[in-house]
Amino acid sequence: MVAKMSSAAKAYAAVVLIRLMYSGMHVMSKVALNEGMNPLVFVFYRHSTAALVLIPLTFVIERRKAKPVTFKIACKMFIHALYGVTACGDLFNLGLNYASATSSSALYNVQPVVTFILAVIFGMETMKLTRFHGKVKFAGILFCIVGVTVLAFYEGPMFKSFNHHQLFQHRDNGSPGADTNSKKQWVLGIFLMTLSNVLAGLWTVLQGPLIEDTSKLMNTTLQISCASVQAFVVAIAAERDFSKWKLGWNVSLVAIIYSGVIVTALSYYMQMWTIAKRGPVFLAMSMPLTFVFTIIISSFILGDAVSLGSIFAGILLIGGLYNVFWGKSIEEKDDINKISTGKPGLELQDKEAPQVADDDAEAKV
């Protein structure tokens, strides 16, 4: 009993640390962008840092037991990395450049729901609208759509930070019409980050066959390595001023190392451990903590004021996430009850393919 309680406590501590790590990523990335770092260059440096950590780690752990990587598998990894890692990361950082750390962490809750929708489209999941669990899932999807809309178009009253001496100052555009431009940029930022979550969801759904080709660690290392090359090509095409590529002993360097080492490498291992101990749903249910932690951290570090619209949107997005999980839970219980009662003609389908909290998916976001 004591051992079980200790294991449960470790699992809860792990998910809290994981969510703090991701909250720090949202805030640190925003700080680096506010300091003038090019979003596309930042993605290249982040992926490269992660690759430098993962490559030797994978070599040590997987060199004797990993399956050989054929040319066909390498091509698959390259394609999946192109849309699911590189494009996803570039769109996320471009959107974050226009919006806020709080909005990015709120939209983070959309990803599992988007994954579920795509899984339904690909026939990996079901959503029977005539059944109660189907209606619950559909309500969750509607909550998320409304939440994204509210986040993009409604601001409401602002709740100012108690900390009036923030560590980093925001760039301010004092030109005429800046307010109108700021609103347009905010909507664009929300759109880009939503699109990034759609690509991340698609990446998660299509990971099943790739995981069978090789191990999860090798899978992640290959895709992050491919993404480093791809991100470099995109960044060099977009930013030809090499003075903006220079790194100094500043917050941008800290953000790059933090995102590459702490989020991609350390949190990846912790997510694998948590899933092994408590399962993927347990990890996914903790995702809203990222939103809460980000509000607190960005308030104290950036001095961000939080709008009522962002809070309301966050509640809708979190509600949508939990509704989808609730609907899945009801569906699984119904299937088990039908099998236990021995109803003829029932086939229990294994539809776990789109694990919405897949550790690899979180590791590369």
Helical residues (DSSP H) of the chain, grouped into ranges: 2-34, 39-62, 71-81, 87-98, 101-107, 110-121, 132-153, 178-205, 208-213, 216-238, 251-257, 267-278, 280-284, 288-301, 308-340, 359-364
Of 5-19, 226-240, 331-345, minimum mean pLDDT range: 331-345
Would strands 306-307 and 158-159 be described as parallel, antiparallel, or unpaired?
A: antiparallel
Place of tokens 């290959």: 222
- Is residue 264 classed as helix, strand or coil in its secondary structure? helix
The whole-model pTM stands at: 0.81
How is residue 85 annotated by DSSP? I
Least confident range from 3-7, 254-258, 337-341, 348-352: namely 348-352
Angstrom distances, CA of residue 165 to CA of 70, 245, 302 = 55, 29, 9
- Give 94-151 pLDDT, tens digit per residue: 999 998 888 898 998 888 888 888 888 888 888 888 888 889 999 999 999 999 999 9
